[in-house]
Structure 1
Amino acid sequence: MKAITSRDNPNVKRLHALATSSRERRSSGLTLLDGAHLVQAALDAGWLLREVVVSAQGLERPEIRGIVERCGALPVLQLTDPLFAHVSPVDTPSGILAVIDIPPSPMPKGLRDSLLVLDGVQDAGNLGTILRTAAAAGLKEVLLTPGCAQAWSPRVLRAGMGGHFCLRIHEHVQVAEVLRGYPGQILATGLGAGARPLYECDLRGPVAWLFGAEGQGLSAEVAALASGLVVIPMPGAVESLNVGAAAAICLFEQVRQQGAGGRT
């Protein structure tokens, strides 16, 4: 374990850049996992960690000490508490970070199972929550259009709570090309002509679910791909749902109809 006490240390500068700069993450191909739960989830999924970073105070916690011990010969940096706060991607430092490679994102081909398409979802919390929901619902493929937030940013990873490690996440996807010939339904939510209540739709087969940005919804290009439009019944006095809530309702209605078992 290497102790670091100076902000001028190259490792501190590198970690700070990974925490704050999407450009640095893209150029280096690296990102940060923040928090014991997320680092533990990566280890449980067999994800390769490049190094672990702990704060002096964090190392006093049995949970974090256990993770460090589990990492064996993996490089571990110990930072003073102020330095750790400086490199932390969140306002409340967790006491442990890990550096990982951002996985490659090849163009998906031959998609036949249910999947999720996110178009221009820019809020990190929403994106991470939706990815976690998709993993919980048993999906494997998620397609992100160029307007989405960076899926492997520390804040999206933190909101995803390990869901990333169960998914194949494809970024900067030209959705029209990828979904050409898709054998299932392609469904979007909305109030347009012909929209059917969600709970009256047959969702037992494969569905490509389309969800758009928080404000403007789906782009015209992606909306045009939908073979059907569904509406979530809302008897309350609100206009619409958060995109994360809408995605969860739709995905788990499909889980219900397919009779999928498992933990709640």
Structure 2
Amino acid sequence: MKSITSRDNPLYKEFKHLATSAQALRKAGRTLLDGVHLCQAYSQHHGLPQCCIVAEGSLHHPEVAAILANIEQQAVQCICLPDALYKALSQVEHGVGLMFVIATPAPQLPATLAVSSVVLDNLQDPGNLGSILRSAAGAGIRNVFCSIGTASAWSPKVMRAGMGAHFLLNIFENVNLAELLENASIPVLATSSHTKQTIYQTDLSKDVVWLFGHEGQGVSPELMAMASQTVTIPQQAAIESLNVAASAAICFFEQVRQQLGKSN
């Protein structure tokens, strides 16, 4: 294990740049997994990281020690940092000091939308995006398509909110959603407060594409016009609208409920 003690070390500077710049992450095609849970999830589903960074004060933490023992046996580069240098990289307060550097997954865009998927149009909030990814993975949806302008799916904030869901999903970023939806071979459903058809009255027993948009502006008119159907989630009139992540979770698990009912 290599020890770095200086902020001027070139490798540390590289880590710091990745930790503080979304643009640097995109340019490098890499991202940082911060914390034991994300590192364990990545190891379970994808294998070895490019590099492991550990805080000196966490070296003897049982879960950290187990992860280090495994990856060092397989010749993964491990870097030990003093706690102060590690904290300058991490956005997790009071967390266990373990971080993986990984190549950002870049799956090949499918030619057509033929299985249940989520399409996100200009979604801005990292917490909402991470929550939607987590709900999608929990509901058995595997493909998520993000427009240009949607929050970076592999940013540290989104990954923390996703709680490992990223590693169960195919996440496609900077997608031309109009071209994608043109090639959909299954229904495209968008939520709207201007329709009477509820999700509970809609047949969700087969695969559909779920379309969600910007937290304030919703789905763009161009994409909304491409939806096969608009549906609404019944709610009390005193509340104008639901949070987009809450709406998505309700839709996904109503689909799960109907599919389970059909199989039984």
TM superposition score category, shorter chain reference: over 0.9
Contact 2:112 2:185 in 1 (8 A): no
Contact 1:131 1:164 in 2 (8 A): yes
1: CA distance between counterparts of 2:240 and 2:120?
A: 21
Please state if 1:38 is matched with 2:38.
yes
Q: Report the Cα offset of residue 260 of structure 1.
A: 7.6
- What residue identity is the alignment partner of 1:38? L
1: CA distance between counterparts of 2:259 and 2:124?
A: 31
2: CA distance between counterparts of 1:151 and 1:124?
A: 8
| Other-structure match for 2:210 | 209
Q: Report the Cα offset of residue 93 of structure 1.
A: 4.4
- What residue identity is the alignment partner of 1:2? K
- What residue identity is the alignment partner of 1:188? A
- Find the partner of 2:108 among 100, 106, 109: 106
What SS does the corresponding residue of 2:175 show, helix, strand or coil? coil
TM norm structure 1: 0.93
1: CA distance between counterparts of 2:125 and 2:47?
A: 25
2: CA distance between counterparts of 1:74 and 1:38?
A: 17
- Find the partner of 1:163 among 165, 168, 191: 165
Q: How many residues align?
A: 260
| Other-structure match for 1:239 | 240
| Other-structure match for 1:49 | 49
| Other-structure match for 1:136 | 138
Unaligned runs of 5+ in 2: none
Contact 1:145 1:172 in 2 (8 A): yes
- Find the partner of 2:120 among 114, 118, 121: 118
What SS does the corresponding residue of 1:249 show, helix, strand or coil? helix
Contact 1:58 1:95 in 2 (8 A): yes
Q: Report the Cα offset of residue 28 of structure 1.
A: 1.0
After TM superposition, the runs of 4+ consecutive aligned structure 1 residues lying more than 6 A away are none
Unaligned runs of 5+ in 1: none
1: CA distance between counterparts of 2:180 and 2:94?
A: 40
Contact 2:117 2:144 in 1 (8 A): yes
- What residue identity is the alignment partner of 1:110? T
- Cα shift readout 1:22-78 (whole Å, capped 9, x = no counterpart): 111111111100110000000000244001101011222111111111212211111
| Identity fraction in percent | 47
2: CA distance between counterparts of 1:247 and 1:92?
A: 31
2: CA distance between counterparts of 1:94 and 1:219?
A: 41
What SS does the corresponding residue of 2:206 show, helix, strand or coil? coil
- What residue identity is the alignment partner of 2:203? D
| Other-structure match for 1:70 | 70
Contact 1:115 1:140 in 2 (8 A): yes
2: CA distance between counterparts of 1:260 and 1:19?
A: 45
